[in-house]
Amino acid sequence: MNDAVFRDNVVVLTGASAGIGRELALQLAGRGAWLALAARDVGRLEEVAEECRERGGRALVAPTDVGEEAQCRRLIDRTMAEYGGVDTLVNNAGIGMWARFEEITDLSIFERIIRVNYLGSVYCTHYALPHLKRNRGRIVGVSSLTGKTGVPTRSAYAASKHAMAGFFDSLRIELMGSGVTVTMVYPGFVATGIRERAFGADGRPLGEGNSPVREDEVMTVEECARLIERAAAERRRELVMTRRAKVGMWLKLLAPRMVDRIARDAIERGK
């Protein structure tokens, strides 16, 4: 990969305070990117921004709840005021859930997840798009393997990621010939801590120490961010991260019931 791809490249990155977003911010900063870091937790954003500056990047802290359209517009406006353009938009902000549908007692989690995971990407992309078109920029959507196939206990999350995939696949076609590329990323389980913040059946976060996944047996956040950076730099159409997932995509065409069983077993094993 050309190390100069992201030098002085203005990158708007949502969900930048933790997990994949934080690590991606640090790696991009090491490439000399100019970052607009968005998330709700101002304190954590400030910490990430300082680390980015130490690595040689520029960093703007832009507290943002992507579920609110006005805040997404303000994020792009602040980025333009600070840097004068937008070259790359990484729609990474997300929130999860972990409960069987029949056990859910607070159905508002469906709306909350859709607003963050799907509509947040729509809002940010809408306001960034005119600037991205001027610069022949990049759009990256960080989805999930649940955006390719549904899995048990993740119904609201999978629905939001399917919506995200459909939106960006449609947008990619609309943007053909514009110079703006769309890269969709489909990670599997990554050791990010997102599951501890995920909604349970009662609409409350699962909490620290209650992750249903064996966090020490899944992809590291460093590897995940490295793969995303490379896919974005190369303007790839999509990135399905694991060999097992790639095989699963073919199996879904040939033996969909087998994929259902594989998805169920993966959730039960937590890896």
Q: Give the catalytic positions in this structure.
A: 157
- Taking a C-beta distance cutoff of 8 angstroms, is the pair 203, 105 a contact? yes
Q: Which residue pairs, CB below 8 angstroms and at least 24 apart, start in 52-56?
A: 52/25, 52/26, 52/28, 53/29, 55/26, 55/29, 55/30, 56/29, 56/30, 56/32
Q: Angle between the 243-254 and 256-269 helix axes, to the nearest 10 degrees?
A: 140
Closest Cα to residue 184, out of 207, 161, 209? 161
Pairing of the two strands 34-39 and 88-91: unpaired
- Phi then psi for residue 217, to 5 deg, are -120, 10
Closest Cα to residue 212, out of 228, 227, 193, 231? 193
Q: Across 158-214, where does the E strand assignment appear?
A: 181-186
Query: What does DSSP assign to residue 175?
Result: T
d(CA 72, CA 96): 20
**Cα separations (Å) of 123 from 117, 154, 181?**
11, 24, 18
Pairing of the two strands 88-91 and 10-14: parallel
**Cα separations (Å) of 56 from 72, 124, 223?**
26, 26, 21
Sort 260 into a burial class: Cβ within 10 Å, 0-12 / 13-18 / 19+: middle
